[in-house]
Structure formats: C-alpha cells, structure tokens
Chains A and B, each alone.
Chain A
Amino acid sequence: MNLENPTYVFIKMTAGVLATVGLYSVLYKETKLYRFFEHMFLGLAAGWSLTAIWTDTLKDQWWGQMVGKVDEQTGLMKEPAVWPWAFVVPMAFMAYLIFSRKHNWISRIPLGLLIGLGAGQAFLNWFNLYGPQMQDSVKVLIPTTFSSLTVPPAVNGQPDPNVYLSQAINNLIFVATLLCVLSYFIFCTEFKSRFLKGMSTAGRLVLMVGFGAIFGSTVMTRFALFIDRMYFVWIEWLWRSVLHLS
C-alpha cells in the first residue's frame, strides 16, 4: 500500500477524527462509542508494539545472531550462527511460571537476574546523577563585585564569572529553601526548638509553592494535548484535507 496516496491519507485522517471525537465523548459520559474507541486504541497499540519488538529487536538481535547469515551468491555462511542464543528462550519462559502454584519459584530466577543487572547499574550511576546536583547546591552567598546590583548584559555571549548582589540574594533564597525543605523530611527526631519547627513549617510552605508551579506546568501539557487534537480536527483535517485551504 502506498502510504503517500492522497485517498489513503484522507481515509486515515478521517478515521483519526472519528477516534478523537469518540475518545473525547467521555467528557459527556462514558458511552459505548467511547469504549469502542478506547479498546481499539489499546488493541492497536499492543499489536503495533508486538510487531515492532520483533522487527526492530528480536529479529536482528536474537534470531539473526542465532541462525547466522548465509551469503546468497556463494551459499556459504557470511556470519556464523551463535547457537547459545537459543538458551534465552527457556529463560524467558521461566518468567511465565509465575502463573503456576507449584513452580512459581522458578520465575524468580530471570526476575532476579534482571533486578541484579538494574541494581548494579543503579549503584554505578547514582553518583553521576546526583553528585553534580549536590555540588551545585553549594552556592556563593557573598557578592564578589558591587559594580552593578544586577547581572550586566553578556559581552560576546560569554558568561561573567563575577557574583553580583542580585545573584547572591538569589543564592541565599536557594540555600534557605533547600535547608528548610530538607528539615521537613527529618522524621527521626522531634524538633523542640522554635527555630527548627519554623524551618520545617517554612519547608512545607515552599514545597507547596513548588507543587503549585508544577501544577501550572502540568496544566500547560494537558491543554497542549487538547489543543493538538483540535488542531488536527479543524486545521489538518477540515481546513487542509476537506476544504483544501492553505
């Protein structure tokens, strides 16, 4: 099938519009129309994933290596077959024994291997991930220059090494916020001092401010998804494909 054929593209887009309307009908109430498109969407995604896992991964990385490659002209082996790859099949099937009451302990072997592999990597990469952030939390709190209160415009796009007053204030707010939030998560002892109690309360408050900012950002994503669907229906389908407007 020619995927670029205009008729095929139009049919594909119209099906997309119907699916969009069907899925958004849940906003009115959960109808059979919604359930139909929901099931179709999940079925298509599962089917697609299965095919892609074979074509993109298993075919070349497992089957191809296991059976090797024959040169079509000479009939000789171009790449040797690595038969031990066959052992991963029983290994994979061992995971399915989780459904057997008698033999479910066997499923722990492949699972354990995977967890071991993941844990080894996590241990190795933990510092790469959080080390630079911990290092970055140590901020300069005293300005190195008072030539300007705020950071002057960059010259030739190069960063200025100086710390200006506005930056020092910013750093102070950062460090205070960090310490307050960390103190909120100390559960191993009871805070008796008013200062520490205040820090913990302030930590809770700044966390809420942070969650509020995250919520704002989240709303943008939800709206963007809806806007994209409406753009698809009104502009890409109706405007361009049906009305043929530019």
Chain B
Amino acid sequence: MSDQNTGPAKKPIGELLQSANRTFLYFILFLVVSLSLVVTQIRKVEVPTRPEAYTIEAYKILRNVPPGGVVIVDTGFTNSSRGENGGQMEALLRILMRSGAKFAVLSWVEPQCIEIARGFIRTINEERKAAGEAPYREWEDYLILGFFPDGPTMLQTVHQNVREAWKTRQATDPSTGEKKSVFESPVLRNVQRIEDVYAYVTLSASGTMPTIVARIGKQVKVISMITGVMFPEQLNYYKSGQLKGLVNGLSGCVELEWLMEKGIDAAGVVGGDAPGKPVAAAFKGAKNFDRGMAYYLALHSALTLLILAVAVGNVGMWLTNRSKKR
C-alpha cells in the first residue's frame, strides 16, 4: 500500500529541539541583552556580588597607594575587549585619581592602546570636573610614555635600569610648552629604580602578564586586569604569589566597583563596619558603579539564555535517543 501522506515529514519533538534556527537564537540574545541594558539604565539595577580573594587583594593595594605614589599602567587592550578591560580601566583610574596617586601609561601590545587609554582618562576627567573635583593634568599628575614596539626587551631594561629604558621618552611641560624628558616630570622625578614604583598594573586581553612577571615581578607589585579568556591561566601566577592581585573580566570589574562602594573594614570584612582604620576604605558618595554594573544584569540574562539553550538541546538529544531505542 502506498504512503498516503504527501505533505512534508513532521519532525519528532527531540529533533525539533536540537535544530533551533541559529539566526533566531541570535535574535533572542539580542533582545534579552538589549532589554537588560535598558532596564538597568532605567531602574539603576545593582546585582549583588561577592568579591573573590584576588580582587580584594588588588583593591587593597590600589586603594592604599600613598598620595604621590607612582603606579605604572600598562595598557594592552583595544576596543575589541572594551566590554571587560574598559570597565576595569575606568575603575582603576577612579581609584588612582581619588587616592591622589600619580601614574604613567605605556603600552607594548598595540599602538592603538595608548589612544584608547587617553579616551578613558578624558572621560574620567570630565566626570571629575562635573563633580567639582580637579581634573588630572598631563605632566603634573600623569604621563603618557607611549608605545614600545619591543616590550620584552624594554621590560628587561626596566629590570636593570628604568631610567635607561625610558630615557628617550619625552612629554610636553605645559609651563614652558617645551618637550622634556619624562624623568623631569613630577610623576617620575623621584623614580630612580623600578622598586620606587608602588605598583605595576597591566590591563590586557592577551597573555602579556608572564613577560612582565618574569622580568620585574620580584621588584614591584604586579596586578593583572584581564579578560575572562585569560583568567584561568593567570590564576596560577596569583596562587604562587607572582601576581599580587587579579581582576577577572567583567565579573572582576563588578567586584572592583563593589569594593569601591562597600570598602573593606578594619576586620577585613567587605562592607563591614568594624571600628578602626579600614583595610581599604570605600569611596562613599562617589560614583562607583558604572560600566561593570551596567553590564552585569545583561551578562546574567545572556548566561541564563545559554544554559537554557544547552538544556533544551540536551533534552532534545535525550528524546531522540529514547525514540531510537524504541
């Protein structure tokens, strides 16, 4: 007897669940993320978090930079990882500027990194002006050391003689309008050796940190702010004490913002109110939650969607296998 059903064969539910249209999934992701961002913007959503030990250590060091202490900001990210490194950079600049620290920015990963860092400094300076605070001035408060095409060799020289490594770098002294050696600037004037630098912070989307740690890790406290992709590899360096602090991607950025808001009390408790000098004080009343928290609800929504999609696919596979066995 011939088959009477001439229409298209109906897919079993198991196969149907496994063959969701990819474009449709992208569209759902687009909707979920967009909606979460808008909701966060309107309702000022603050998703609670619990900072990890490595983020706490990073915050303790950065928050306790003495006024005038020098921090080297080694920027190694472009707009391709702005989602994670961008928020970290903003949090770092806020902490340094509010602490009165001086900092010098350099890069050896990509020439664009310097211009991107300048953009972030401009943004935070605008924020300071709007809040009635003095903006950070180039030469006086911070320096742009520029791009170094051969980072490993530059760092090797920094290990031996920081003045030799950066001796050709110049910046404009606004008081005379003349280009001078960066070591004449108030930022690096007192830096004779790399040990005179309080901390070396690297923000990167790639594996630049081992190059830094191998060369100057014993002389200066190195903190790494990295993307989630690089985090598992770098955790080893934190565990062995080669890194003094670590900030992991977007979640690390939110943790840093959380610590800026809550602080660490004298008993070492985040958000606690034990009497005495806090281990790392909060910046009460200042703008602490920004890019990290703005993205956090969207990240949770996207991850929920991913888990749901994986679960649906697995149920589909299970149903298909079960029907085949029958």
Contacts and interface: CB of A to CB of B under 8 A. Distances in A.
Interface in A82-135: 117-118, 121, 124-126, 128-129, 132-133, 135
Interface in A208-240: 210, 213-214, 217-221, 223-231, 234-235, 239
Give the interface SS of chain B, mostly helix, strand, loop or mixed: helix
Contacts of B186: none
A190 interface: no
Nearest to B215: A125
Contacts of B279: 156-157
B18 interface: no
B49 interface: no
Interface stretch (B1-9, B294-302, B313-321): B294-302
Interface of A is mostly: helix
Interface string B211-249: 001110110000000011101100011011110000011
A150 interface: no
Contacts of B229: 214, 217-218, 221
Contacts of B266: 156-157
A124 B160 CA distance: 13
Interface stretch (B25-33, B65-73, B94-102, B189-197): B25-33
A30 to B, nearest CB: 13
A223 B236 CA distance: 24
Contacts of B169: 60
Contacts of A228: 82-83, 86, 295
25 contacts: A48-B115, A52-B147, A53-B147, A57-B146, A60-B169, A60-B170, A129-B214, A132-B240, A133-B236, A136-B240, A155-B267, A155-B268, A157-B268, A218-B228, A218-B229, A221-B228, A223-B33, A223-B302, A224-B228, A224-B299, A227-B83, A230-B33, A230-B37, A231-B37, A234-B37
A144 to B, nearest CB: 20
A185 interface: no
Interface of A: 27-28, 45, 48-49, 51-53, 56-57, 60-61, 64-65, 117-118, 121, 124-126, 128-129, 132-133, 135-136, 153-158, 210, 213-214, 217-221, 223-231, 234-235, 239
Contact of B268 (A65, A154, A213, A221): A154
Contacts of A117: 153
Given A157-B267, A230-B298, 19 more contacts: A49-B110, A56-B147, A129-B242, A132-B240, A132-B242, A136-B240, A136-B241, A156-B279, A214-B232, A218-B228, A218-B229, A220-B299, A223-B299, A223-B303, A227-B250, A227-B299, A228-B82, A230-B34, A239-B41
Of listed B33, B37, B82, B111, residue having the most chain A CB within 10 A: B111
Contacts of B156: 121, 124
B269 to A, nearest CB: 7
Interface residues of B, number: 67
Given A65-B168, A129-B213, A133-B240, A224 B84 contact: yes
B153 A121 contact: yes
A221 B168 contact: no
B152 interface: yes
B149 interface: yes
A220 B232 contact: no
B295 A224 contact: yes
Contacts of B84: 221, 224-225
A38 to B, nearest CB: 13
B174 interface: no
Contact of A121 (B38, B152, B241): B152
Nearest to B278: A157
B23 interface: yes
Contacts of A218: 228-229
Interface in B182-208: none
Interface string B10-54: 000000000000010010011001100110010000000000000
Contacts of A156: 266-268, 276, 279
Contacts of B215: 125, 128
